[in-house]
Chains A and B, each alone.
Chain A
Amino acid sequence: MIQIGSAQLWVHDQDEALEFYTKKVGMEIRSDVTVAELGNFRWLTVGAPGQDDVAVTLMAIPGPPVMDEQTAKEVRVLMAKGFAGTIFLVTDDCRAAYEEMRGRGVEFTEAPEERPYGIDCGFRDPSGNSLRLTEPREITSA
């Protein structure tokens, strides 16, 4: 059996991302360690309370020798354009979560709307990464 453990997201600034994903989105810190032997590489993960086995790794864009300057620049450009990736979150009350997060200063790109699969909305993190928040519709067999 294969399960999802964690998925990685590039971020411009790990402290800023941590503040956003914990204080504004409501996730919690799972791991935050800095390894001096690896050039102060910081392994930083967050996850949703109550979902202990799945995490998002907030990864700083590295420099050489891990990533050459040109590639790092391209990653930054992709993030700024909103094409670096999307995280799809689910909730049991999209409209309430939207109001709550908007009150905390989250920058929404789309307000909650009815879709065939439920109600969803979209927002961005400070690095420009896209996030969707969906209240899935219960599928009933005809």
Chain B
Amino acid sequence: MVFASRDRDLLRAKDLVDSRYFDPLEVADLARAAGFSRAHFSREFRRTFGESPHAYLLTRRMERAAALLRNTDRSVADICFDVGLQSVGSFTTSFTRTFGVSPTAYRAAFPKATDYARIPTCMLRAFGRPRNRTFREDTARALP
């Protein structure tokens, strides 16, 4: 039972990563959420989930960043901040290390986000309709 309770506490930290990866979270915040000391937390997290909390946090951010690169046309800098990182240089390095290509090259390997965004046809029809500048009907009607 003691182990189940410890695992539940660690899961709280893992859940925090999944739900708040876009905040400036650090391992110390995760340790606090689980109620562990920093050093003890990292060791126990790795023992329970098979990877360090830092690695879990970083890979969650990289996974989300990859999804944003595929599904949006937000800039690389915006995506870096969207996933809770503060330095575009560090983000690019981590991304390249994780996926083997830079964020820009990763995005270029997929169709443009606008090509497969699920924009409903009703929206395409509504927003694609050109604005009526003048077809002179009104003027023609006004003539005697």
Residues of A near any B CB (own CB < 8 A): 5, 22-23, 26, 28-35, 37-39, 41, 43, 49-50, 62, 64-66
Contact = CB atoms under 8 A, between A and B. Distances in A.
A43 B119 contact: yes
A38 B124 contact: yes
17 contacts: A23-B23, A26-B20, A28-B22, A31-B71, A32-B72, A33-B119, A34-B73, A35-B114, A38-B128, A41-B119, A43-B119, A49-B18, A50-B18, A62-B127, A65-B129, A65-B131, A66-B127
B16 to A, nearest CB: 11
Contact of B82 (A29, A34, A35): A29
Contact of A64 (B20, B72, B131): B131
B19 A49 contact: yes
- Mostly, the A contact residues are mixed
A29 B72 contact: yes
A58 to B, nearest CB: 13
Q: Which 9 A-B pairs have the closest CB atoms?
A: A32-B72, A38-B127, A41-B127, A33-B117, A33-B114, A43-B119, A33-B113, A66-B126, A65-B131
A31 B74 CA distance: 10
Contacts of B74: 29, 32
B126 A31 contact: no
Contacts of B71: 29-33
A65 B135 CA distance: 15
Contacts of B19: 26, 49
